[in-house]
Amino acid sequence: MQVVILRGISGSGKSSYAKMLGMEIVSADHFFEFDGEYRFDPKLLPIAHRQCLRTYVEMVRKGKSVVVDNTNCSLIECAPYIAVAQAYLIIGTMVVDFHTDPQLAFNRSVHGVPIAAIESQFAAMKRADAEWPQWWPERRSV
């Protein structure tokens, strides 16, 4: 069993990478998919993230290998997923960072995330990189 937590700004390539891993994928984006169409509603984002975390916990409880495909730019976004992996003593927990230029990410983003939001994610990721707890899983960059 393995847990892979992806971190990166919107448009950085996380979802494409997640699909290549061949594992179960949990993502807040799945909450906004209806009949093959993505319909984002920012008011529902907290609900989407709660649903994503619930799905993740259920998969971990069942012993499935899972990829968390959310931005996870800040420490507080990563914390619940890391805590669950640690609580279940998952040795194969890995965090994969996607360091991407915000303008490039904006240009290739498929969800229409505004450049200001992407720049905010970028700043949050840099802060988290500087404050990353030593006892959390090590990170690898893609």
Residue 58's CATH number? 3.40.50.300
Query: In sequence order, which residues have a C-beta less than 8 Å from that of residue 84 and are 6 or more positions away?
Result: 56, 57, 60
Q: What's phi and psi for 40, nearest 5 deg?
A: -80, 135
| pLDDT 10s digits, 51-110 | 999 999 999 999 999 999 999 999 999 999 999 999 999 988 999 999 999 999 999 888
In 10 A of CB 43, how many CB atoms? Answer: 6
Q: 122 is in which domain, residue-wise?
A: 2-141
Number of domains in the chain: 1
Nearest to 102 by CA among 129, 127, 122, 82: 122
Residue 23 — pLDDT band, cuts 50, 70, 90? very high
Q: What is the rounded average pLDDT of the residues 22-30?
A: 96
pLDDT at 40: 84
In 10 A of CB 107, how many CB atoms? Answer: 10
Q: What is the share, in percent, of the chain residues with pLDDT greater than 70?
A: 100
Q: What is the share, in percent, of the chain residues with pLDDT greater than 90?
A: 85
Distances (CA, A) of 41 to 32, 59, 101, 118, 134: 8, 26, 25, 17, 36
pLDDT at 127: 96
